[in-house]
A and B are shown apart, each in its own frame.
Chain A
Amino acid sequence: MSLPSVPAIETRGLRRVYKTKPKPIVALDGIDLEVAPGEFFGLLGPNGAGKTTLIKILTTLLLPTTGTARVFGFDVARETRQIRRLMNIVAGGEQSGYGLLQVREQLWMFSQFYGLGTREGWQRVDELIEAVGLDEQRNQKVSSLSTGQRQKMNFARGLLNDPWVFFLDEPTLGLDVSAARSVRELVRTWKDALPGRTILLTTHYMAEAEELCERIAIVDHGRILAIGTPDELKHRVQSESIFRLEVDRLERGAGALAGLPGVVSASTATDGTTPAPDGVQTLNLILDNDTALGGVVTALGSMGAQIVALRKSEPSLEDVFVELVGRGFDEDGAGSNGHHEAVAR
């Protein structure tokens, strides 16, 4: 089967301004993006970067302020019918659903809105219920589902029309480790079953993006800061030196090192390693070059901290992110590495 020659997603100078008071918010500030059919594409960015806004525009929920956006060549503002047939969306962290209905019934109704025949609809629903692993809940009321089960139902809904483009807005948000893993498994299996299926995923979990996405765009303040394969992105910081440092008795944490000469950034590692006991911290250090390390070691000594382990490491996606966005996810959020553990394997 030959794939369509038009891009699955194409935006040109896409801008979206929310007319809020006292001053308007520029959620998207000139996004130029092209995603090929069959790509698994990721959007990474801090809270408020504009990821959801972009997805809303592409799913015909919201109009662009200026610029154009197309899905398989169809314009989001004018050709909504066509787009709606060939895309679908699943968002995470939602409590949506008609609580009174049974899972199977609600899904069937949506199959009808997508134009499936009556019997065809039931058949499709039963297949999807099995595929997403909701067999036992098929006749349960929607209101009685757990968060994870609800998300599985949401996926079944999203797959009813077999989308060419599947938008996933933080699909594993709020799920436990195993539920998140089975969602990722599901997404990958679905995508691999047929060439041409395209996915646009937003996530806050670096490991999730790295595990799933073939290409990633890092966005902030409504702009794309960098775009490429995970490896390409990591090469961007290859010219710098990255160290992993385990240190004891460092009172002020990563912040204590930030201002030192040659230090590009210092942050608490959040890749899911179990925290060591006795106040030992693991830090990620990005330095201009290896020689800056001497100064760091000296400084640590003078602060009374003790180096437990020091290792030069390969850059991670998070290093790229921290360098581009200027802050880790933790710094405006929970401040622990707890919410990253969902993707630890």
Chain B
Amino acid sequence: MEPTVAAFDRHALRATRSRRDGWRDTWRGYRTAARLGWRVEANWADPILFLTYSVAKPLAGALILVVMLEVVSGGGADEYRAFIVVGSALWSFVIAGLSGLAMSVLDDRERYRMLKYLYISPTSLAVLLLGRGTARFAMGGIGAAVTLAVGVLFLGVPFDPAVMDVPLLLASMALGLSGVIALGVVFAAVVLQTRQDSWSYPEAVAGALFLLVGAVFPLAVLPMPVQALGLVTPLTWWVAAVREALFPDAVSSIAGPGSLYTRLTGVTEPDRWVLLICLLATTVLVTLGAMLTFRVSERRAKDRGLIDQTTGT
């Protein structure tokens, strides 16, 4: 097959390359990376299996916890049931968000060996990774929604649309998502530096965080220094705010007897404004930290030649 000269000639020295990188290009890069992630992550060969997996995992987690709760408390603890269902529903989301970006670094570098080709394109690495992570995020979102629905329909979680605080829910979801993404960027920055096989890191760390932020049990049961760590994490405030928005009667994960928060402020039940302001503050903090970390990490990776290194054969 003889190559055709015409195809090479027509696009000669395109004007686009002297153009500055605009928002449109960034948006296009993000969208395409999201599409790439969706096509690569989702097991389209077997959609049933894929859906079952992305929904069954968070659902099973919630069920196990609810059953444990029933056994331990001898039934009847409605507020705790709500507490746990919200916690584990959000958590499938958090795991997906936290580990999604890091996983795509590993996948693209080690498995597909395409990271270097993505990297040398004009679209910035951060935008590409955010896009790549979006698919996992969306799948986590589906899992979370299903878990919540099952909790309300079958697990006797008391849900009353009339008492639901919609503005609080929307505001805290928006902030919480930013916080999750920012932490995801930090994870990706760390994984970019690893030399060894680090496939299990992101999920492991996300799992550990689960215990810190009041998702399954209130912070009050943790030692004080660990509680302090929990209080500077936006996830803690996010989980609490969403719980407050959906189930105002649910137990507070932040305050209460034995909690650092109550000891510091004397308040036993933070109100919605406190939750939102703390969520905002911690999110801004983590986002700034993430941007800095990522910049340093990318620079270091480029200095050490880590962008195209593969640990396998």
Contacts and interface: CB of A to CB of B under 8 A. Distances in A.
Contact of A194 (B9, B113, B302): B9
Interface string A89-116: 1000011111111000100011011111
Interface string B113-142: 110111111110000100000000000000
Interface stretch (A38-46, A129-137, A248-256, A261-269): A129-137
A61 B305 contact: yes
Contact of B117 (A19, A110, A164): A110
A314 interface: no
Contacts of B121: 84, 110, 113-114
Nearest to A87: B120
Contact of A164 (B13, B28, B304): B13
Interface in A31-79: 56, 59-63
Given A124-B11, A189-B5, A196-B13, A101 B114 contact: no
Interface stretch (B14-22, B216-224, B238-246, B252-260): B14-22
A290 interface: no
A185 interface: yes
Q: Is the interface of B mostly helix, strand, loop or mixed?
A: helix
A223 interface: no
Contacts of A161: 14, 17
A14 B8 CA distance: 33
A109 B36 CA distance: 7
A142 to B, nearest CB: 9
Contact of B113 (A96, A132, A189): A96
A162 B36 contact: no
Given A162-B14, A164-B13, A194-B13, A133 B117 contact: no
Contacts of A215: none
Given A109-B32, A194-B9, A56 B305 contact: yes
Interface string B278-306: 00000000000000000000000011110
A96 B114 contact: yes
Nearest to A111: B32
B208 interface: no
B160 interface: no
A101 B11 contact: no
A132 B14 contact: no
Nearest to A65: B303
A18 B305 contact: yes
B308 interface: yes
B43 to A, nearest CB: 9
Contact of B305 (A62, A88, A89): A62
Contacts of B119: 60-61
A112 B119 CA distance: 14
Interface residues of A, number: 54
Interface in B85-125: 112-114, 116-123
Contacts of B1: 133, 135, 182
A135 to B, nearest CB: 8
Interface string B204-220: 00000000000000000
A197 B12 CA distance: 9
Given A61-B116, A185-B3, A101 B25 contact: no
Contacts of A89: 120
A95 B112 CA distance: 8
Nearest to A131: B7
A98 B305 contact: no
Give the interface centre of B19, B40, B117, B304 by most chain A CB atoms within 10 Å.
B117
20 contacts: A60-B302, A61-B302, A61-B308, A62-B303, A84-B120, A85-B122, A98-B36, A110-B117, A112-B31, A112-B32, A113-B32, A115-B16, A115-B19, A115-B28, A132-B3, A185-B3, A186-B3, A190-B3, A193-B12, A194-B9
